Amino acid sequence: MIDKKYNEYFSLFEQYGDISLQKERFGLNDNQVSIISLLYIAYKNGILKQTIASYGIVPRIKEYFTGNIDELINRINSNSNLSSIECIFIPNEISRIEDLEKLRNTYSDKEIVVKWNNEIAFIDDAISAVYMINYFKSIMSDELSPLERITIAYDIVKSHYYKEKNIKNTMSSRYITNMVNNDYIVCSGYVNIFNRLIEEAGMEVYKLSLSMKIGDSIIGHVRSVVHVVDDKYGLNCYCVFDPTFDSADKNKYYYIVEDDSISISEKKEEGYQETDSLCLYKHFLVPLYLYEVKFPNSFDEKLSSRRNKNGNKEVANAVLHNKQLKEGSPLPIMKFVELLYNVKLAEGYKEEDIPILINQSFIMSNNKRYTNSSLIEAISEIKSKKDNMLISD
């Protein structure tokens, strides 16, 4: 019945648009108008089938997960109508792979819809998303400092090429549970994955929704705000991250350094060197007091988190264009070199390639360069410091 209902509503919306606005034409009562309005929004977002399965349009059981998967299964089994039920809906999160798989395997003959990361998803998609997040987390080694783990999460997310889906499938490029099975991703998608990784690493993170003026147009956009606390790098501050703006581009970048001038091109020219796809950190670790300088076309910001729709008022006030400075950096240059050196090593780059990678990041992010001799000297100092720490331990 789920597939039948899905095909019926999908065909109606394809042909007539939002029929909830055509009450008289279709003879709809007020309750039907409310339901169909909800379904039309789901249709536009690409989650029509999940919504039909979970909303009660077809026979379903709704049970909350309270932390024990066996108790949940026992409650579902106690339903006298279980044999005639098509869907089981769990309207809150089950995070553990083992629990999700046990639920799926117990009711392999039912459609199971869960809430995961505040997303409504079929259980197979939720399981795939958890596997993906767990894999990404494994790259963010616990042996790294908090900022190093944040940077690796940033690199993981911005390695995806920006790609929008059509209007009827907008959540395909925003929901983690949808993105895991396709290659669509937009700003909300970048932030959803990044924030989930940071949250699971035990750090404080927020979604920053805003409007942005580009030419004569105003568009919606999303960034992240992270409370960065890292003794190794001397940080305890809230910073903005925009992985969308720093994401890899299918159009390669090339550069050449001649004397004190730097030229950047999107075409391969004689003497130009191709950059690494993860070299951009223009919109990375932006302290709140530099927000307006870095993002001058942004306005109407709203801060929220997965567990707190209103965010943190103190942080929100700081980012909303108050107490702004014109320049500054949370990290001295030497610390930034140390950060990139440690992160690139952890990401598996060859040590001999790292100086040029760091230089590319300086060039592409700040239009400045760090001379190779200075970089090698700086990295030697970093390695010496690490060796001394190991000896003292």
Secondary structure letter of residue 259 according to DSSP: T
What would you measure as the largest C-alpha separation in the chain, in angstroms? 81
Do the domain assignments include residue 215? no
Task: Return the sign of the alpha-carbon dihedral for residues 278, 279, 280, 286.
Answer: positive
Domain limits for position 41: 2-116
Do the domain assignments include residue 85? yes
* 185 burial level (CB within 10 Å; 0-12, 13-18, 19+): buried
Do the domain assignments include residue 154? no
* Cα–Cα dist 4/86, whole Å: 12
* Structural contact between residues 160 and 188, judged by C-beta atoms closer than 8 angstroms: no
Average pLDDT over residues 300-322: 73
Do the domain assignments include residue 67? yes
Task: Return the sign of the alpha-carbon dihedral for residues 121, 304, 294, 290.
Answer: negative
**Among 339, 343, 346, 334, which Cα is nearest to 377's?**
334
Do the domain assignments include residue 138? no
> Which of 62, 95, 116 lies at the terminal end of a domain, its last residue?
116
Give residue-wise pLDDT tens across range 158-190.
Answer: 887 654 544 444 444 445 555 445 454 446 778
> Which of 87, 116, 145 lies at the terminal end of a domain, its last residue?
116
> Which of 116, 138, 156 lies at the terminal end of a domain, its last residue?
116
Number of domains in the chain: 2
Best-predicted range by mean pLDDT (155-164, 169-178, 217-226, 360-369) = 217-226
* Cα–Cα dist 25/63, whole Å: 37
Give residue-wise pLDDT tens across range 37-86.
Answer: 888 888 877 788 888 888 888 889 999 999 999 999 999 999 988 999 99
Give residue-wise pLDDT tens across range 228-245.
Answer: 999 999 999 999 999 988
* Cα–Cα dist 257/82, whole Å: 70
| pLDDT of amino acid 169 | 43
| pLDDT of amino acid 96 | 94
Do the domain assignments include residue 129? no
* Cα–Cα dist 107/105, whole Å: 5
Is a pLDDT exceeding 70 seen at residue 373?
no
Do the domain assignments include residue 31? yes
Do the domain assignments include residue 324? no
Q: Model-level pTM greater than 0.85?
A: no
Q: What residues does 116 pair with on adjacent strands? A: 119
Q: What percent of the chain has pLDDT over 90?
A: 31
| pLDDT of amino acid 55 | 83
| pLDDT of amino acid 367 | 60
| pLDDT of amino acid 30 | 87
